[in-house]
Amino acid sequence: MINKPMTLSMPKILFLLITWLIVSGISLTSPCEALHPRGLIRPDELNTIRARLTQEPLKNYLRYFQQYVEAKMRKVSPQSSDADRVYLSSQMATLYLLTQDARWASYAWEYLNPVLSTDLTFTDPLSRGLTRAAMLQNAAISYDFCYPAWSDEQRQRVNEAIFSCIVSVNASMGHEANYNIASNWMGVRYGAVILAASVWDAPALKPGEKSPALPYLWDASKRLQDHLEAVIYINGWNGESMGYHGYDWSFIGPALIALYNQGQNDHFKLENFAPKLLHTLWGLSTAAVDIPTQSGRGIKADLSDDNLNAFGPDLLALSFRLYPPAQQPYLKWMFDYRFSPSQTKDGRHGLIFTLLYYPLNIPAYNPAEAGWLHYHDPEQGILMFRNQFKDSTDIVFTLSATSRRVRGHQGPDTHTWRLLGLGVPWVIGGGRTGATYLQTNFFPDSLETLKKKIEQTGKLHHFQSRPQGGEALSSGSCLNVNEHIRQSWVNYHPRSGCEAVLVVSGKLPKWPSLAHSNA
């Protein structure tokens, strides 16, 4: 049985959030008084973090990270996209922070400076918001980490550019944006604003004056909480998809860390700010198998409009700072299962977050010991049965009983299933395409689901988890044939003589003998 996450009423959370933000002075002060870093880490943590880098595996991660950045420097030139240059600047800034080698701060300035006033994306308030928000996030990291090494003139230039971009991102994500509060666009938007506003330094303030960044911090914090309430379901499942959660979280995670770092206030701990997230990594861990791919390692079920690639290291690395201590040993095991220095790329800053947050002094426990072989989200009708947490041969059966997703991310998923295991994906889906040959439902949908509303179809009536498998009963279809009933049964017990036995069958009252999918 899955325990429900601890909840706190939304009015109480909102009251605590607004009260803390209003009465807090926050360390958004004059540059001459500013303390840095204060976004992703606090100043009092810096010596400890640097000392940890002499120990494995972090020593090896740092060596690989430096090699990775040096290789990127040979590819990212002044003619490269400005987004690439800002991203590389934040990686260089991280190397300065960790090694105290001033060369890296100089490189970070060299790559960042031209972008601040000339780039059409960074300076245009109607440019593509996802790119502009990513540039804001990375400029803020560069400023926060390189502050001690840069001159007053350099600090002021970056500080002013960051504030202008805070205003533009908070105001608009451009013409292409999805402004639905549940959309990942809104998580990216408000996550970037929060991190940037947390490290921005106000000009000299008179007694009683508040930082100009505070209203943006207040607004973005509340909007981010609204976003998480809308997109995360009762047991932690993301209403867009697993893949979109990983992208969204690369902005939300740093923002929550920055909020907590401003005053170390418990209101910004995950269990208080967004309690439904507490079981999200349970579901994502159950879903992911360490199967090699062309781009790396890791495959998960491709529900709704998702792809097969499993989440990157940033998701788990951020969890070491955000998730409760009781989950840390299992998340550490999952991180070690999925990643190693030579196989880890710094997409979405996975290496940076690993160097900052990877826990050396806690044990790693197999997630099976926490009951993570099974996962269920009742609102989404998601159900997973896994045989083990061991290696690339792990087997995961996933059932999607409903198509209850955020609009634009639905996919014809009512009564579909996926199967991964023994080193390969056996059964995958069709995403948004409407490709019926890829669908495992008896009533496939030939239309792209962006064009129709199907989120109310399907229902999970019953499920039972067992130590070595489980079963489920569901009904419905994407074509509103609601009397269609499907039974799913999974058995991983070795007495069968097989790695797994899977039976998926369906019936309709008018055709009682229907059995359309047996394996």
Given this model, what pLDDT does residue 454 score?
Answer: 56
Answer yes or no: pTM beyond 0.85: yes
Given this model, what pLDDT does residue 434 score?
Answer: 66
Type of residue found at 463: F
- DSSP notation for 286-355: HH-EEEEETTEEEE----TT--SBPP-HHHHHHHHHHS-GGGHHHHHHHHHHH--GGG---GGGHHHHHH
- Are 319 and 360 contacting, i.e. CB atoms less than 8 angstroms apart? no
What is d(CA 507, CA 486) in angstroms, rounded to the nearest whole number? 7
Given this model, what pLDDT does residue 20 score?
Answer: 47
- DSSP notation for 240-257: S-HHHHHHHHHHHHHHHH
Token pair of 276 as six digits: 């439904």
What is d(CA 480, CA 404) in angstroms, rounded to the nearest whole number? 13
The answer for residues whose C-beta is within 8 angstroms of residue 319's C-beta and 6 or more apart is 253, 281, 327, 331
Given this model, what pLDDT does residue 380 score?
Answer: 83
The answer for residues whose C-beta is within 8 angstroms of residue 260's C-beta and 6 or more apart is 268, 269
What is d(CA 259, CA 44) in angstroms, rounded to the nearest whole number? 16
Token pair of 367 as six digits: 């997630």
Given this model, what pLDDT does residue 401 score?
Answer: 83
- Are 119 and 126 contacting, i.e. CB atoms less than 8 angstroms apart? no
> How confident is the model over 16-27, as pLDDT tens digits?
455 444 434 444
Type of residue found at 302: D
What is d(CA 435, CA 241) in angstroms, rounded to the nearest whole number? 19
Q: Return phi, psi of residue 513, to 5°.
A: -90, 0
First-to-final CA distance of the chain: 27
- Are 449 and 403 contacting, i.e. CB atoms less than 8 angstroms apart? yes
Q: Which of 186, 231, 248, 284 is nearest to 404 (CA)?
A: 231
What is d(CA 158, CA 141) in angstroms, rounded to the nearest whole number? 11
Planar angle of CA 475, 481, 486, nearest 5 degrees: 30
Given this model, what pLDDT does residue 447 score?
Answer: 59
Q: CA-CA distances (angstroms) from residue 393 to 399, 429, 470, 493? A: 20, 20, 19, 15
Give helix 242-263 / helix 184-199 axis angle, nearest 10°. Answer: 20
Domains by residue range for the chain, with CATH: 10-368 (1.50.10.100), 373-507 (2.70.98.70)
Q: CA-CA distances (angstroms) from residue 235 to 6, 102, 231, 238, 380? A: 10, 46, 12, 9, 9
> How confident is the model over 429-485, as pLDDT tens digits?
876 666 777 777 777 776 555 555 655 678 888 888 888 999 888 888 777 777 888
Query: How confident is the prediction along the chain (519 residues), in pLDDT tens digits per residue?
Result: 344 444 445 554 554 455 444 434 444 554 445 899 999 999 999 999 999 999 999 999 999 999 999 999 999 876 778 889 999 999 999 999 999 999 999 999 999 999 987 777 888 889 999 999 999 999 999 999 999 999 999 999 999 999 999 999 999 999 999 999 999 999 999 999 999 999 999 988 888 888 899 999 999 999 999 999 999 999 999 988 888 899 999 999 999 999 999 877 888 999 999 999 999 999 999 999 999 887 778 899 888 777 888 888 889 999 999 999 999 999 999 999 988 777 666 678 999 999 999 999 999 999 999 999 999 998 888 899 999 999 999 999 999 887 776 766 766 777 888 999 999 999 888 766 667 777 777 777 765 555 556 556 788 888 888 889 998 888 887 777 778 888 889 999 999 889 999 998 888 876 554 444 444
Given this model, what pLDDT does residue 279 score?
Answer: 95
CA dihedral for 213, 214, 216, 217, sign (positive or negative): positive
| 307 torsion bin: left (phi>0), alpha (psi -120 to 50), beta (else) | beta
Given this model, what pLDDT does residue 278 score?
Answer: 96
